[in-house]
Amino acid sequence: MSIVIRAAGKRDLGLILNFIRGLAEYEKLAHECIATEEALSATLFGPKPAAEVLIAEIDEKPVGFSLFFTSYSTFLAKPGIWLEDLFVLPEYRGRGAGKALLARLAALVRERDWGRLEWVVLDWNQPAIDFYRSLGAEPQEEWTTWRITGEPLARMAEGASAAD
């Protein structure tokens, strides 16, 4: 069995979308997944890419992906990698593809002389939590992720416009 990690290209749009949908199903969030190949093409492979994607292959079959983008630490005064998504097809879990994707991300952090690799995990996802702990990752339990979207985001943006 050989595991290869490669950078995704535009030809992988359908594959990336299928992985995203698989992840959304696993996380019980399929109802929130509105991504399309067209939107992914524009945001991942357009003139100003917002993120990068790696594809994991086992024996030349795509089995998983990671999607990540640049973060920044003011304390380190260095960029880092924010891992947005990591997904391996259920039938290929436990074969090393997830670990290989994370190892490649760690290598990218080092190659780019950046400061860290970070991500979040749903608190109910014990298999992922156990996996990350086995690699030496530690939860940052003193931090709470906050999010604003939809109508509250629109209202906030309107308030910023009024203040300008």
The one catalytic residue among 26, 72, 92, 132: 132
Q: CA angle, corner 93, sides to 59 and 117, nearest 5? A: 95
Q: Are 58 and 1 in contact (CB under 8 A)?
A: yes
| Catalytic residue check, 72 | no
Long-range contacts, 106-115 (Cβ 8 Å, 24+): 108/81, 109/80, 109/81, 112/79, 113/78, 114/78, 114/79, 114/80, 114/81, 115/73, 115/76, 115/78, 115/79, 115/80
Which stretches does DSSP call E strand in 107-148? 117-119
Q: Are 56 and 65 in contact (CB under 8 A)?
A: yes
Six-digit token pair at 20?
A: 């995203």
Catalytic site positions: 132
